């Protein structure tokens, strides 16, 4: 029997940086519709939006996503994504879950499919971009990741992967057991930096409008 693959996009109504962020216009359509479309065009069997907001729900339905209403207690500023994912797992049938964030409009169906392909080998996967070493300083002007008298060369430092927050994939079993979006043997789907931007501020929105 084949495994049932579903995606869930968590989209609450009370965004702070950009009010009503999930339904704000980006390139002529609501922000959340970009990730809904990518999910629908991927190998996911069902695309869901988990929300506490009626307008977001209507936008999601219009874009051909299924909707799960979640309690307002799971959509506050202090609520964790894991709490919403566990609520989703308790109410929707699936074997493999693709957790997508609506603030990643440059996510493509190919990114999602690559992650799903990797699930034959890994327990969980997530998207990230490769970051080469750069000197970083604290707000108190103290070197954060180097000693200024022994500043390393970039080529002498190993590159790191930075989560870009676009998507995470895990199984229902592992989610319920670990209560985390990723666990076990973890793999990484590398995305380019330019497609890793998150929409969190109006500056981000302006930049992405120029990119698309």
Residue 15 pLDDT > 90: no
Q: What is the CATH number of domain 5-129+163-211?
A: 3.90.550.10
Phi-psi region of 179 (alpha: psi -120 to 50; beta: other; left: phi over 0): left
Q: Which residues are catalytic?
A: 151
Question: Can you give the pLDDT at residue 66?
Answer: 98
Q: What average pLDDT score do residues 189-210 get?
A: 90
99-108 per-position pLDDT tens digit: 999 999 999 9
Q: Cα-flanking dihedrals φ and ψ of residue 80, to 5°?
A: -95, 150
Element (H, E) at 90: helix 81-91
Q: Where are the domains of the chain?
A: 5-129+163-211
What CA–CA distance (Å, rounded) separates 70 from 93?
16
Radius of gyration of the chain (CA): 18
Kindly report the number of other CB atoms within 10 A of residue 11's CB atom.
31
Which of 92, 103, 108, 17 lies closest to 50 in space, CA to CA? 92
Give the three-state DSSP class for 38: helix
| Mean pLDDT for all residues in the chain | 93
Cβ proximity of 187 and 163 under 8 Å: no
Q: What average pLDDT score do residues 108-117 get?
A: 98
Give the three-state DSSP class for 170: strand
What CA–CA distance (Å, rounded) separates 15 from 52?
12
Question: Can you give the pLDDT at residue 1?
Answer: 66
pTM over 0.85: yes
Q: Lowest-pLDDT range, 18-27, 37-46, 112-121?
A: 18-27
Q: What average pLDDT score do residues 25-30 get?
A: 94
Question: Can you give the pLDDT at residue 73?
Answer: 87
Q: What average pLDDT score do residues 92-105 get?
A: 97
**180-191: b (≥16 Cβ within 10 Å) or e:** bbbbeeebbbeb
């Amino acid at each position: 029997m084949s495994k049932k693959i579903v995606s869930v996009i968590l989209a609450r109504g009370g965004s702070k940086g950009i009010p009503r962020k999930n339904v704000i216009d980006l390139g002529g359509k609501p922000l959340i519709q970009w990730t809904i479309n990518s999910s629908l065009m991927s190998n996911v069997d069902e695309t869901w939006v988990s929300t506490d907001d009626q307008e977001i729900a209507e936008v999601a339905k219009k874009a051909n996503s299924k909707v799960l209403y979640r309690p307002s207690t799971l959509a506050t500023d202090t609520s964790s994504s894991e709490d919403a994912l566990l609520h989703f797992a308790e109410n929707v049938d699936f074997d493999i879950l693709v957790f997508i964030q609506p603030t990643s409009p440059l996510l493509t169906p190919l990114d999602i499919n690559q992650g799903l392909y990797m699930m034959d080998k890994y327990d969980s996967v997530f998207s990230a971009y490769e970051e080469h070493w750069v000197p970083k300083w604290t707000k108190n002007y103290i070197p954060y990741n180097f000693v200024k008298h022994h500043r390393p060369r970039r080529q002498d430092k190993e590159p790191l992967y930075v989560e870009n927050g676009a998507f995470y994939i895990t199984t229902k079993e592992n989610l319920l057991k670990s209560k985390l979006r990723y666990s076990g043997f973890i793999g990484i789907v590398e995305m380019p930096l330019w497609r890793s931007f998150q929409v969190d501020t109006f500056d981000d929105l302006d930049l992405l409008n120029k990119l698309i």
